[in-house]
Amino acid sequence: MKLHSKILATFFGIGYFPLAPGTITSAIIVLLYKFWLHKIIWPVYLLLVIFLFIVGIFVSGVYSRESKKRDPRPVVIDEAAGQFLALFLVSPHWFPLGLSFFFFRLFDITKPFFIKKVEDFPGGLGIMLDDILAAAYAGILTHLYLLLK
């Protein structure tokens, strides 16, 4: 397997953590957002999400093909991209961050509302799309809750 694909697909090795690597990846993204990423202007932030999504399709597809597994456990770039999207325009205070994290992990794990169906897309696209859809639901629900509260 190409080393760069392995490094990026596992989000710099986080995917090899023995317990809940996807949740740990999401938590790390939340911390990065809290202390740094929230300062990026929104068009650049959105470009980063899109870039991570596109790179994720490629590298997770490579990892999947080489490991001969449909959605290998160490691949967590999908969780990274998803949590990035779920945090889009969220206030960097702990409650909104925790809410975004909670909703994203809930939707990513339970896969309701068509999320499960997009996993059937081939290769890296299927690996990435379910998390992007979970992130969209999480982001919308987070912003709605904060708006109505």
Per-residue pLDDT reduced to its tens digit, 47-104? 999 999 999 999 999 999 999 999 999 999 999 999 999 999 999 999 999 999 999 9
Per-residue pLDDT, 60: 97
Per-residue pLDDT, 149: 82
* Mean pLDDT on 27-44: 98
Instruction: Say how far apart CA 12 and CA 15 lie, in whole Å.
Output: 8
Identity at 109, one-letter amino acid code: I
Per-residue pLDDT, 1: 61
The residues, ordered by sequence, that sit 6+ positions from 5 with a Cβ below 8 Å of its Cβ are 58, 59, 62, 63, 66
Instruction: Say how far apart CA 50 and CA 71 lie, in whole Å.
Output: 20
pLDDT digits (tens, 9 = 90+) for 13-28: 999 999 999 999 999 9
Angle between helices 123-148 and 94-110 (to 10 degrees): 140
Contact assessment for residue 58 and residue 1, using Cβ atoms and an 8 Å cutoff: no
